[in-house]
Amino acid sequence: MNKNKLTRWNDTIRYLNDSFPTAAPRIGDHINTIVSDNPTRESISEQLALGSANRVHKNTDANKNARHALRGLLLCQRIYFSEKWANSNFVGEPVAVPLSALDANWRTLSLNTWGMRSEASILDAIAMFATVPNVSASDVSVVAKLGPPTGLRPAIAGNLEACRSTFEVTGAAETCYRGVLGWLLKSGLVSFRWFMQNAAPTGEASLKALFGDGEVVWTSDQIFVDGSVLPDVEAGYIVHMWNENTGPAGWNGHWVISNGDGTFCGVNNGEVKAGLGRVQVLKNYSNNGTLRSQFEGYGGYEMKEVKGSGGFLTLVEKTPREATKGKMVKFNPLNLPGRM
């Protein structure tokens, strides 16, 4: 029996709510707040119609729940990957602006992947739009230790093939906080809904909107020297460090995940050569470098480049000495603003 547009919409909303009852807010209810007018709901509902296409389960009682699930997944992708919800910082934009991460043929691509899958398989994909129950902060460190973003397609934003059981942190890692965002999503501590609020954040306004203000670990009025001791930072906590002397242009600084033992996971790091008492840190990725080694680039005394022996540039302290204003802040990922 054919459904009218609003009936199809309401049935799909109900299915999402019933399938993920502990999601906060419930997925269906949340979508209803994003799309609140019936004309828009009816328009989007047309994209949820499955009919009798060859690439989807036939409309029989045996396939009823799989078809419900498929409509639920299409609705999540249509809303959360589009400008209805998604945002991103584009080059030159100080704040996030609406983003559509959907190709023109997104529906066909999604149906090609999910159209003949079982209900359980499709629910695994919808689960990307809900947090995983009972995830702890330390789980973020566990997944971050598995490796950096692959640098390969597809990008995370708009990934129509993603599902909880096999999700891989793909896409670019050109900034340190892109790695942090990918690991948060993989851990299940946040969902696509939270991630797509800003798929490519940069700058103080956008990053504070995502992470909040955090808790200070090292204040900028303390000079960080060889004998200084960093306070412990819990496993899975997000760490932001920067030099306040650099002003707004340098506020982004460096973002990593603490492993809870003085080491970190991060991408786009400050490189450190292995030596006596020093663990090597590669720029592209580290899962065992020390937080101290990264913070040394922001604390201590201001440096300048001079020509050394052989004409090579080397860093030396400025004279007269000028203290940096290195600051470190930590964030409990369980307390991220609007986490869902």
**CA distance linking residue 127 with residue 121, whole number of Å:** 10
Predicted pLDDT of residue 2: 53
pLDDT > 80? residue 3: no
Query: What is the mean pLDDT of the segment spanning 213-233?
Result: 95
Looking at 127-141, 223-237, 288-302, 325-339, which range is the least confident one? 288-302
Looking at residue 260, its pLDDT comes to 98
Question: pLDDT grade, residue 1 (50/70/90)?
Answer: very low
Residue 323, pLDDT score: 79
Of 259 and 249, more confident: 259
Q: Which residue has the tokens 């529906």?
A: 107
State the average pLDDT for the chain.
93
Count how many residues are written for the chain.
340
Lowest mean pLDDT among 17-21, 80-84, 106-110, 272-276: 272-276
Helices (H), the chain: 5-19, 27-34, 38-45, 64-80, 106-114, 119-126, 138-144, 176-187, 192-195, 204-211, 247-250, 291-295
**pLDDT over threshold 90, residue 182:** yes
pTM of the model: 0.93
pLDDT beyond 70 at 92: no
